[in-house]
Amino acid sequence: MYHNPVLLNECISGLNINPSGTYVDVTYGGGGHSKEIFKFIIDGKLIAFDQDNDSVINKLEDAKFTLINHNFQFLKNFLRLHDATKVDGILADLGVSSHQFDVPERGFSTRFEAPLDMRMNQNQTKTASDILNTYSELDITEVLKNYGEINNYKCFVKGIIKYRNNNKISTTSDLIDAVSGCFPQHKKNKFLAQLFQALRIEVNNEIDVLKSLLTQATESLKSGGRLVVISYHSLEDRLVKNFIKSGNFDGKIEKDFYGNPIVEYKQITRKPIMPQELEINENNRARSAKLRIAEKL
């Protein structure tokens, strides 16, 4: 089941929709954000992306709507293909959808005994199990250190290597058994969430794909167009924040010959918009959401 779209009203407000404009939802999922955007479009159009084959089930049937069943890292190519080289707004709701978390066989959740899959695009071959069983100790260390934000990542790596020396790590329970000595039971959920996050980011190349999206979005937005991004962990949010602020991923503002800052965006939100307690109670996925909005100069 697809759940309620996160920070829906704030996203719609942030897009500042022109009824004749062209808008892009790069993370269609259950179509919650797109369906709301579509209510404001009169003679404009909406283009959506989602690489997950399950998303096609929720496709809007309207001539003003196009769903592209591909990763948003191909944003510019597909916009060109659909005669939309410059658009009025781009929305990205990053991370895993509630639907993906809730389907056990997708392997995204620690709640279910399931194969360690974690592919957002079911057509790709590399799974989380492949990473755990074939990556070198050094490579697994880099994944957990850089993407999991786990303080004692070395313990996790040792547990994984020790376990796979005797048994293949194929399921969620295999992985939990492998690292069970690395955290106190009362913090089990937090540590496992960090571990699964790291693997999911690596499986789907999420950091590089996000960087590509931000770069292409800047090239695809009209002057005055809006960029609206929801992120769910600090790695994503830091990239979005830095890029909106400075036009690069380090966050260092460069200056021209006269000392004027070279920037691509006006920050509509200096600080991220966070969900209210009521929304978090109704939709747990909103708990860690951070929304940033910027306008192309």
Distance CA 38, CA 31 (A): 10
Distance CA 34, CA 24 (A): 9
Contact 78, 22 (CB under 8 A): no
Per-residue pLDDT, 122: 81
Per-residue pLDDT, 52: 79
Walking along the chain (297 residues) 10 residues at a time, the average pLDDT comes out as 82 98 95 96 96 82 95 95 96 73 56 84 91 98 94 96 97 95 91 93 95 97 98 96 96 93 95 96 91 98
3-state secondary structure of 51: coil
Which residue ranges form the domains of the chain, and what is each CATH number? 8-98+206-296 (3.40.50.150), 107-204 (1.10.150.170)
Distance CA 243, CA 91 (A): 15
Strand (E) or helix (H) holding 173: helix 172-179
Q: Residue 208 CA to chain centroid, in angstroms?
A: 11
| Span 103-142, pLDDT tens digits | 555 655 656 688 999 998 888 999 999 999 999 999 999 9
DSSP 96: -
Contact 108, 200 (CB under 8 A): yes
For the whole model, what pTM was predicted?
0.91
Per-residue pLDDT, 48: 97
Tokens linked to 289: 């959401």
Contact 99, 2 (CB under 8 A): yes
Per-residue pLDDT, 120: 83
Q: Residue 214 CA to chain centroid, in angstroms?
A: 12
Contact 44, 19 (CB under 8 A): yes
Distance CA 73, CA 49 (A): 10
